[in-house]
Amino acid sequence: MSACDMTARTVLVTGAASGIGLACARLLLADNANVVAMDLQAERMASEFARSGDRLVRFAGDFSRPEDCAGAVAAAIERFGALDAVTHWGAAHSSARWDELDADECNRTMAVNVTGTFLIAQAAARHMVARRRGAIVLCTSTSVSFGVTGGRGQGGPAYVASKGAVIALTRSFARAFGPCGVRVNAVSPGITETPMIGGYTEEQRSEMVKRFPLGRFGTPEEVASAGIFLISDRASFITGEILQVNGGSNFV
Ligand SMILES: NC(=O)c1ccc[n+]([C@@H]2O[C@H](COP(=O)([O-])OP(=O)(O)OC[C@H]3O[C@@H](n4cnc5c(N)ncnc54)[C@H](O)[C@@H]3O)[C@@H](O)[C@H]2O)c1
């Protein structure tokens, strides 16, 4: 048995085609979970999960659309009988600075990162609350505490505001769903080696890594592991919590 036994648990993983979501889906499959992998990028999922076997369902969809969220939850129930947990990693990035950001980009970022987070949690909770069990992990960002300003690949005001809203949603959901046996937490990653930080220059990277007492950025697996812990029974008395996974970079 692994530290977090996921055998026969069914987990919906969003953002599963790339970065932390992809690492999470792979770790869960290795831990014998059933996985519904959701992402906009159907082809990328098809190639990443080409040999993943019958414990994986690929669901190409957009979690900012309520019908796709309901469809992903229904796919889990149809194939595996129930949905035990959601790890919601998918998000849109926005690097525009305050003087470049327009209403369209701001609204798009909010629609994906705030409304989308609400919708995926709502769709899962409709099922979980009726079963009186379940766990949901959302994803915020260390950039909320820094107040990053954008430019050259870094999160700007739309991104950081959307990730701040995820903290508020985590606490609101934890209070609403807790009496029904459903836990809700968030992981707050620091800089993690995924395509999302592909816009950083070498100069930026060597400047930013100085903030990390561990002397490096995180790996997608290290962040995903924290999410898996939070949906596991090892975290059975944790709800409404924001777990920092950032190599100590938020207190330097
Ligand atoms: N990488 C970092 O340094 C970092 C730091 C802090 C927080 N985060 C957060 O970690 C999470 C994972 O980020 P990542 O670095 O793995 O990013 P990534 O860009 O590698 O992957 C994000 C995935 O989400 C998918 N996606 C985006 N919008 C979608 C939608 N509407 N419906 C379905 N899928 C959608 C994308 O197609 C992509 O596959 C995000 O919530 C991000 O904000 C990342």
Residue bearing the CA closest to ligand 1, atom 11: 89
pTM of the model: 0.98
Query: What is the pLDDT, as a whole number, of residue 28?
Result: 98
pLDDT band at 251 (very low <50, low <70, confident <90, very high): low
Does the beta carbon of 62 sit less than 6 angstroms from any atom of ligand 1? yes
Residues belonging to the chain:
252
Distance 24 CA to ligand 1 centre (A): 12
Map out the domains of the chain with their CATH numbers: 10-245 (3.40.50.720)
Instruction: Answer whether residue 1 shows pLDDT above 70.
Output: no
Sheet containing 56-60, strands listed edge to edge, beginning at the edge strand earlier in sequence: 56-60, 34-39, 10-14, 85-88, 134-139, 182-189, 242-245
- Counting beta carbons within 10 angstroms of the beta carbon of residue 176, is it exposed (0 to 12), middle (13 to 18) or buried (19 or more)? middle
C-beta of residue 37 within 8 angstroms of C-beta of residue 87: no
The crossing angle, in degrees rounded to 10, of helices 103-110 and 157-177 is 30
What is the spatial distance between Cα 84 and Cα 43, in angstroms, rounded to a whole number? 26
Q: Is 159 a catalytic residue?
A: yes
Who contacts 203 (Cβ-Cβ below 8 Å, separation ≥6)? none
Mean pLDDT (whole number) for 206-227 = 96
Residue 157 scores a pLDDT above 60: yes
Q: How far apart are CA 208 and CA 191, in angstroms?
A: 9
Position in ligand 1 atom list of the atom nearest CA 163 = 43
How far apart, in Å, do the first and last CA atoms of the chain sit? 37
User: What average pLDDT does the segment 171-196 reach?
Assistant: 98
Q: Which of 49, 59, 63, 159 is catalytic?
A: 159
The chain-wide mean pLDDT, for the chain, equals 96
Evaluate: CB of 166 within 6 angstroms of ligand 1: no
89 alpha carbon – ligand 1 mean position (Å): 6
Please answer whether residues 52 and 103 qualify as being in contact, where contact means their C-beta atoms are separated by less than 8 angstroms: no
The pLDDT tens digits of the residues spanning 43-96 come to 999 999 999 899 999 999 999 999 999 999 999 999 999 999 999 999 999 999
Q: Is the shortest distance between the CB of 247 and ligand 1 below 6 Å?
A: no
Provide the pLDDT for residue 4: 84
Q: What pLDDT is recorded for position 2?
A: 58
Whole-number pLDDT of residue 113: 98
Residue 250 has a pLDDT of 81
Task: Answer whether residue 3 shows pLDDT above 90.
Answer: no
Does residue 207 sit in helix, strand or coil? helix
Contact criterion met (CB below 8 Å) for 146 and 195: no
Give the helix ranges, DSSP H, for 15-94. 19-30, 42-48, 66-80
pLDDT value for 146:
87
- pLDDT value at 252 more than 60: no
144 lines ligand 1 (CB under 6 A): no
Q: Report pLDDT for 243.
A: 98
What's the CA-to-centroid distance between 179 and ligand 1, angstroms?
30
Check pLDDT > 80 for residue 12.
Answer: yes
Q: Is the CB of 92 under 6 A from ligand 1?
A: yes
**DSSP-based helix, strand, coil % in the chain, nearest 5:** 50, 15, 35
CB of 41 within 6 A of ligand 1: the answer is: yes
What value does the mean pLDDT take over residues 34-51? 97
User: Cα–Cα distance between 93 and 136 in angstroms, integer?
Assistant: 22
